[in-house]
DNA sequence: AAGTCTAATTGAACGTCGTTCAGTTCTGGA
DNA sequence: TCCAGAACTGAACGACGTTCAATTAGACTT
């Protein structure tokens, strides 16, 4: 059997990415493989390689969706006029999203791409846009400081919180502490706000 | 050929762990395998399983050494009477050690043990002892606060810095920022000190 | 309508991995 | 001296990612 007409090229491509997303979300990245994916969509493993360069390619597309989803979660966060409160709201949005999509988030950072493979530029851009949103809050807290300071604080708070949340998400935070990740995150946000507030011009 | 007398049971065990450590340090955990390890020591892969439960077992022993080495790096850190300065010195010791042993450190946190496998208790204890050392600095900064507060700050600063350094060590920090990890770490330390100094009783 | 071209799909294959195990050989103790 | 059991090998199992010759069905040409 060959050359079936079950799906058009586009249909099959989105079927693959959709199913990959479901599989990773439910079973985790460790249980994900070319064979399990192809079994799930009713095709052979070889077929995947006619529509995608390799498994990296497929996982990258899933990861991109995860990042886009995070951006949407940020946008859907509770609005507030107080930039300090808004930072906490973003933190909640972040935490909520990752809690909901634990396995997908872990896939985003645990997946080992081949050494030479460069990070796709929209990865970087997706993260940069989140950081700009955060930096704006800092800029609102101290309008007398320049944009660079706000941007650096945005990067720092994103890196801090992302790291700690990932540590928790991969089940390793309890190696270090027995506290609730929610409390820790908000404590970190308060610390960054405090430090920024106390900055000298 | 079977039953060679090249090494005693203990000699072979330490040969395995030593060689595993070298291989991981030089090639990274991805290039590490039962076959590459056994090839390096001149035995068959099957032999490994007569002396160790599985590869997890071997990697865990290497990881334990890495953690012990970190504790020694802490102890060898430049002493100082100023607890604030001491925190920065510990941060430098941490950073220096991880820079030196990048691949081993990544192995410690990137290696996926089987789902049910529990974390060995001395892992937790090794980390806990590092945190106690850090917590002491906080206790010295504000002797009026209770030990619990110092301990929590110790955990938090360890988690923060460990996470950010790991992010850098695995080559992902530059997704978020283009700043030097050294500067970032000391900035974080200063933030934690500032926050602790401003704590209400 | 018949024939040809081409894209899609399969299934077997390659070399890798962790792990197990029957079989073989050697060592230490009785 | 003999033998139980420990140490070691090499083949095997079922997984993995990936490639590719062979096959087939749809699209295009005449």
pLDDT for B1:
54
Please determine, for residue A1, whether its predicted confidence score (pLDDT) is greater than 60: no
Q: What is the pTM of this model?
A: 0.91
Contact A198 B194 (CB under 8 A): yes
pLDDT digits (tens, 9 = 90+) for A6-65: 888 999 999 999 999 999 999 999 999 999 999 999 999 999 999 999 999 999 999 999
Q: Show which residues sit with Cβ under 7 A of nucleic chain C.
A: A 1-4, 6-7, 9, 12, 42-47, 50-51; B 1-5, 32-36, 45-46, 49, 54-56
pLDDT for B39:
97
Q: What's the structural domain count of chain B?
A: 2
Which has the closest alpha carbon to A1: A40, A34, A47, A38?
A47
Question: Do residue B5 and residue B103 come from a single domain?
Answer: no
A175 CB inside 7 Å of strand D:
no
pLDDT digits (tens, 9 = 90+) for B134-150: 999 999 999 999 999 99
Q: What is the mean pLDDT of chain A?
A: 93
The C1' atom of C6 and the CA atom of B198 lie apart, in whole Å, by 73
- Assign residue A173 the CATH number of its domain: 1.10.357.10
Which has the closest alpha carbon to A123: A39, A60, A30?
A60
Question: Do residue A95 and residue A186 come from a single domain?
Answer: yes
Looking at chain B, how many residues does it have? 201
Please determine, for residue A136, whether its predicted confidence score (pLDDT) is greater than 80: yes
Question: Do residue A46 and residue A71 come from a single domain?
Answer: no
A190 CB inside 7 Å of strand D:
no
Give a yes or no: residue A133 inside a domain: yes
- Mean pLDDT on A76-82: 94
CA–CA distance, B105 with B96 (Å, rounded to integer): 12
pLDDT for A111:
76
pLDDT digits (tens, 9 = 90+) for B176-186: 999 999 999 99
Question: Residue-wise over B132-163: b if at least 16 C-beta within 10 A, else e?
Answer: ebbbbbbbebbeebeeebbbbbbbbbbbbbbb
Question: Do residue A79 and residue A6 come from a single domain?
Answer: no
CA–CA distance, B70 with B77 (Å, rounded to integer): 11
The residue whose CA lies nearest the C1' of nucleotide D8 is B2
The pLDDT confidence band at residue B42, using thresholds 50, 70 and 90, is very high
- Mean pLDDT on A100-104: 96
The C1' atom of D8 and the CA atom of B49 lie apart, in whole Å, by 11
- Mean pLDDT on B8-17: 94
Contact B159 A172 (CB under 8 A): no
Residue in this structure with the two tokens 């980390």, named with its chain if needed:
B127
A70 vs B contacts (CB less than 8 Å) = none
pLDDT digits (tens, 9 = 90+) for B52-98: 999 999 999 999 999 999 999 999 989 999 999 999 999 999 999 99
Give a yes or no: residue B57 inside a domain: no
Domain that holds residue B9: 1-52
Contact A123 B155 (CB under 8 A): no
How would you classify residue B4: left for phi > 0, otherwise alpha for psi between -120 and 50, otherwise beta? Answer: beta
Please determine, for residue A120, whether its predicted confidence score (pLDDT) is greater than 90: no
CA–CA distance, A174 with B78 (Å, rounded to integer): 29
Give a yes or no: residue B58 inside a domain: no
Question: Do residue A111 and residue A25 come from a single domain?
Answer: no
CA–CA distance, A47 with A4 (Å, rounded to integer): 11
Give a yes or no: residue A58 inside a domain: no
Question: Do residue B112 and residue B16 come from a single domain?
Answer: no
Question: Residue-wise over B34-62: b if at least 16 C-beta within 10 A, else e?
Answer: beebbeebebeeebbeebbeebeebbbbb
Give a yes or no: residue A102 inside a domain: yes
Please determine, for residue A4, whether its predicted confidence score (pLDDT) is greater than 80: no
């Amino acid at each position: 059997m060959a050359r079936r007409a079950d799906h058009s090229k586009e249909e099959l491509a989105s079927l693959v990415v959709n199913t990959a997303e479901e599989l990773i979300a439910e079973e985790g990245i460790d249980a994900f493989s070319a064979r399990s994916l192809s079994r799930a969509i009713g095709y052979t493993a070889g077929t995947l390689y006619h529509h995608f360069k390799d498994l990296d390619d497929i996982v990258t597309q899933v990861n991109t969706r995860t990042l886009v989803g995070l951006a949407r979660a940020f946008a859907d966060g509770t609005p507030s006029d107080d930039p300090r409160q808004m930072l906490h709201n973003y933190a909640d949005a972040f935490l909520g999203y990752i809690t909901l999509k634990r396995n997908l988030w872990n896939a985003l950072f645990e997946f080992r791409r081949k050494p030479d493979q460069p990070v796709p530029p929209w990865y970087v851009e997706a993260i940069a846009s989140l950081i700009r949103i955060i930096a704006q809050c800092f800029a609102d807290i101290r309008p007398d400081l320049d944009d660079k300071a706000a941007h650096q604080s945005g990067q720092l708070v994103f890196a801090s919180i992302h790291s700690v949340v990932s540590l928790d998400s991969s089940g390793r935070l309890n190696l270090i502490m027995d506290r609730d990740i929610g409390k820790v995150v908000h404590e970190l946000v308060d610390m960054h706000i405090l430090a920024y507030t106390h900055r000298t011009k």
